[in-house]
Copies of this chain bind each other. A is one copy, B any other.
Amino acid sequence: MKRYEKFAEHIAELIRTGVLGPGARVPSVRYASQAHGVSPSTVFQAYYLLERRGLIHAMPRSGYFVNALAHAFEPPMVQPAHSESTAVDVSELVFSILDSMKDPHMVPFGSAFPSPRLFPLPRLARSLASANRDMHPDLTVTDLSPGNPNLRGQIALRYRVAGLALPMEELLITNGALEALNLCLQAVTEPGDLVAIEAPAFYACLQVLERLKLKAVEIPVHPRDGIDLEVLEQTLERLPVKACWSMTNFHNPIGASVPEARKAQLVELLARHQVPLIEDDVYAELYFGQQAPKPAKAFDREGLVLHCGSFAKSLAPGYRIGWVAAGRFAQKVERLKLMTTICASMPAQAAIADYLQHGGYDRHLRKLRLALEAQQRQMLAAIARYFPRESRVSQPGGGYFLWVELPERVDSLQLFHLALAKGVSIAPGPIFSATRRFKSCIRLNYGSPWSARSEQAMATLGELIGTF
């Protein structure tokens, strides 16, 4: 990291932690240069970077100021109405909503993906061509699951950089993270079993439970700190929970990231009850801070954490390449895969392996993170401009989703239909709950480059919200 980047990160940290609040004046160039022993040009470069990242703005002849955020309040943690087990039946609603926003001309605030225009697809296509040109024919029938050895090696390397020494045998390549999560859940449960999930939860998690005929008990998620450990503990003591599914970093939809100490506690708590943790960590690479957040898996001593990752959100959406490090369940998960899809598509595996080795993945990720952070700031600013003052919004430290709690009078399913008619998609709160809660919440995707059209769409949403 260069000197000016380091200094920019220092200021960004002050903004993130609230030391420098919205509208606050950033230290002047002269003061900062003296106080930190760096040259004025370093400070200028840093401030320029922060400006591009959407964190601060310059006022002529007055200096630099922290950008107005949305409302300073994050949404409160919602306690489930009753923390008993529920049969899950949400698919129809989810599908009808996903179907209705397929139109590519829609402003995709409801989308589950970041814009693929942020990804190096042409470079990846070159890897696809070169990695498959001379593939040995025999490999196509011998080299099935657990997957392409180069790709598994590259993934193991990335775990190692993050401080995790995983044995290669644990790693299985899957058709995206969703398959990994399906296989994991099936490996540790029987139909009818009870699974602790988060509220709100990613709707695909609800669908998987429904498909596998599992029951859910909802554990509330704090918008900053993630899953509520106290409620989880009480639940584990009271109910025969067979697995826990948690998104530990940049939670979809709420944005929470569990702090490291709490991750350790989570793992310890589950280990005490011998309950496997299915850790959905697909946004891990999309952090805005200085360092990748550690997965809960890093604190696992018993092989009880099944850690699922993916390249779909950070590099290669349609390639459908994810993976799982399934701890003591690795063999069971691999066999379930052999019984369903045998292996992930080999050309895609070879392409990603090649790209990771030669394509400049880390350089791409640095650019991607800066772009997402800037887009988040722009969407937060638009919320401040157009949404009612009582709205509350999450401010996640990564990913590409904002979770907005609108005034109670707003029905997000109605808002969804009204917005759709105006060419804007949103994800309404009830699709994120087994018990159809979060009636007045919406999830907004800031994963596309900000444009006048985005701004206009936010204004439209604001107007529609005003009609409630």
Contact with B along A87-98 (1 / 0, CB 8 A): 000010001001
A336 on the interface (CB 8 Å rule)? yes
Residues of B within 8 A of A117 (CB): 137-138
Q: How far is the CB of A182 from chain B (nearest CB, A)?
A: 5
B347 touches A104 (CB 8 A): no
A176 on the interface (CB 8 Å rule)? yes
Cα A129 to Cα B342 in complex, Å, equals 24
Q: Pick from B179, B317, B344: contact of A141, CB below 8 A.
A: B317
Q: How many residues of A contact B (CB 8 A)?
A: 60
* Chain B residue at smallest Cβ distance from A182: B340
Q: Pick from B320, B346, B348: contact of A341, CB below 8 A.
A: B320
Residues of B within 8 A of A318 (CB): 135, 139-141, 143-144, 343, 345-347
Q: Pick from B102, B211, B319, B343: contact of A320, CB below 8 A.
A: B343
Identical copies of this chain, number: 2
Q: Pick from B95, B140, B204, B338: contact of A317, CB below 8 A.
A: B140
A207 on the interface (CB 8 Å rule)? yes
A125 on the interface (CB 8 Å rule)? yes
Residues of B within 8 A of A135 (CB): 121, 125, 318
Q: Pick from B125, B132, B182: contact of A133, CB below 8 A.
A: B125
Q: Pick from B129, B204, B340: contact of A128, CB below 8 A.
A: B129
Q: How far is the CB of A425 from chain B (nearest CB, A)?
A: 12
Residues of B within 8 A of A346 (CB): 318-320
Considering only residues 263-315 of chain A, those with a C-beta below 8 Å from chain B are: none
Residues of B within 8 A of A104 (CB): 138, 142
A113 on the interface (CB 8 Å rule)? yes
A341 touches B211 (CB 8 A): no
Residues of B within 8 A of A138 (CB): 104, 116-117
- A351-B347 contact given A104-B142, A141-B317, A191-B191, CB 8 Å threshold: yes
Q: How far is the CB of A2 from chain B (nearest CB, A)?
A: 30
- A95-B132 contact given A121-B140, A137-B119, A137-B121, CB 8 Å threshold: no
Q: Pick from B137, B175, B186, B338: contact of A116, CB below 8 A.
A: B137
Q: How far is the CB of A146 from chain B (nearest CB, A)?
A: 12
Q: How far is the CB of A46 from chain B (nearest CB, A)?
A: 32
A339 on the interface (CB 8 Å rule)? yes
A262 on the interface (CB 8 Å rule)? no
A158 on the interface (CB 8 Å rule)? no
A178 on the interface (CB 8 Å rule)? yes
Residues of B within 8 A of A160 (CB): none
* Chain B residue at smallest Cβ distance from A111: B141
* Chain B residue at smallest Cβ distance from A203: B339
Q: How far is the CB of A162 from chain B (nearest CB, A)?
A: 26
Contact with B along A106-148 (1 / 0, CB 8 A): 0000010101110101100100110011010111111110000
* Chain B residue at smallest Cβ distance from A319: B345
A326 on the interface (CB 8 Å rule)? no
Residues of B within 8 A of A210 (CB): 339
A128 touches B339 (CB 8 A): no
Q: How far is the CB of A185 from chain B (nearest CB, A)?
A: 11
* Chain B residue at smallest Cβ distance from A113: B141
Chain B CB count within 10 A is highest, among A133, A137, A319, for A137
Cα A140 to Cα B202 in complex, Å, equals 21
Cα A160 to Cα B278 in complex, Å, equals 45
A335 on the interface (CB 8 Å rule)? yes
* Chain B residue at smallest Cβ distance from A180: B341
Cα A232 to Cα B186 in complex, Å, equals 32
Q: How far is the CB of A296 from chain B (nearest CB, A)?
A: 24
- A128-B132 contact given A179-B341, A318-B143, A342-B176, CB 8 Å threshold: yes
Contact with B along A327-343 (1 / 0, CB 8 A): 00000000110111111
The 3 closest A-B pairs by CB, nearest first: A318-B346, A345-B345, A129-B129
14 contacts between A and B (CB under 8 A): A102-B142, A104-B138, A111-B141, A116-B140, A125-B129, A135-B318, A140-B317, A178-B339, A179-B341, A318-B343, A318-B347, A319-B346, A320-B343, A320-B346
In the complex, besides A129-B132, A348-B348, 4 extra interface pairs with C-beta distance below 8 angstroms are A116-B137, A116-B140, A179-B340, A182-B339
Q: Give residues in A with beta carbon < 8 Å to B.
A: 91, 95, 98, 102, 104, 111, 113, 115-117, 119, 121-122, 125, 128-129, 132-133, 135, 137-144, 175-176, 178-179, 182, 186, 191, 204, 207-208, 210-211, 213, 316-321, 335-336, 338-348, 351
